[in-house]
Amino acid sequence: MMKRSMQRILAFVFTICLLVGMAAVGSAEEINLADYQAAVPVLDLVASAAICSSDFPTVISDGESTLDSNFITFFFTNGLQVGSTACVTEDMLTNVTLQEQFLKSIFSAQLPALDAITPPETTDDYIGFLPVYAKAAEGGDVYLIGELYRGTRPIGQMTADDYKTLSWEDRAIYTLKQDDTALNGYRVDGFSVGSELLMEMQLQDYTNQILVEYINSKLGFSLLYPSLFQEASFTEDATGASATLDDGSASFSVKRVDNTGSMSLSDYATLMAASETDARLAVNDVFQYATVAYETADGNSVFSIYIVTDQYVYMAQLTYPTSQSIIYSMYTMYLENSFVVDEVSVG
């Protein structure tokens, strides 16, 4: 089974915790993600406007291009909605001079004719960007690659309850140009979402940096797991594989067991969810899998994926400290999308 055609997808290095004050790790080019922390609220706003302004995320280019008028409308509308962190003020909606000054402090692209903005209907969700990986580009530019998310508030301010409804949208790439005249010292020279298939080489570098493929031909399944477990205690047995970090804080497993009760996917997943307090169950009938997520009394979060056939139950599971959800929660989507079982594969 190939879900949403994600044969090689992304996760992020567990040591990165940029938004909660822990030390961030740069790329092989010694670029430190912490250098971009002040720019994150504006990068959030760029992503939010790009997603809201079109059926397909708007692409932002360099000084040879012109910003889309609808993007600008949502840029100011969403910026005003999220509050002072985005630096957008009420006056900017009606004052084109203020609009021009603010846009020119952020983007390399040219501006269209500006006008007073009547706020359209927009999302109540907070759409943001989590920086994960930075890579030097030609001419002194930097590629800043990470993940777009949708939630109740900026990810660095989320509580355990907020993470229960957090969704990861897609990977995204910013091209940033260092400029002392720009807001926060960096000008947005480009932005695109991974599904647009731009900058494939950079995206492949990102993937190779932070994800590992596991294939078990004998048991008939494969998936992509977080590279943080490469240095963990990794073991295989007759049912599959498992890994636990040296400090015991997080673990990962994937296995196949007999479907002794000849249960259906829905029945099996419902039974698993019922055995845990306040478990969240989701059954995907189209792609024939189910997920169960819950929090334990000792402060951990558990995320499990189930695929059930007449003979077997296939399960992948990630367990991590709930207090470190900012580091681990994104992996759950990638496990979900990469878990492939030969029996039910559709390509």
pLDDT tens for 219-270 read 999 998 988 887 778 899 999 999 999 899 999 999 999 999 999 999 999 9
pLDDT of residue 117: 97
Homologous superfamily of 217-344: Mog1/PsbP, alpha/beta/alpha sandwich (3.40.1000.10)
Cβ contact 180:187 at 8 Å: no
pLDDT of residue 255: 97
pLDDT of residue 180: 92
Question: Over the range 59-94, which residues count as b (16 or more CB within 10 Å of their CB) and which as e?
Answer: bbbbeeeebbeebbbbbbbbbbbbeeebbbeeebbe
The values of phi and psi at residue 11, to 5°, are: -140, -170
| Domain ranges, ordered by start, for the chain | 31-207, 217-344
pLDDT higher for 86 or 69?
69
pLDDT of residue 194: 74
Tokens 């992948």 — which residue? Answer: 316
pLDDT higher for 90 or 203?
90
Put simply, whether the predicted model's pTM sits higher than 0.75 gets the answer yes
Q: In this model, does residue 27 exceed pLDDT 60?
A: no
Q: In this model, does residue 330 exceed pLDDT 70?
A: yes
What does the alpha-carbon distance between residue 339 and residue 17 come to, in Å, rounded to a whole number? 26
Q: In this model, does residue 306 exceed pLDDT 50?
A: yes
pLDDT higher for 285 or 8?
285
What does the alpha-carbon distance between residue 193 and residue 150 come to, in Å, rounded to a whole number? 14
Q: In this model, does residue 6 exceed pLDDT 60?
A: no
User: What percentage of the chain exceeds 70 in pLDDT?
Assistant: 89
Contacts of 107 (CB under 8 A, 6+ apart): 60, 67, 187, 188
Q: Where is average pLDDT lowest: 1-10, 75-84, 270-279?
A: 1-10
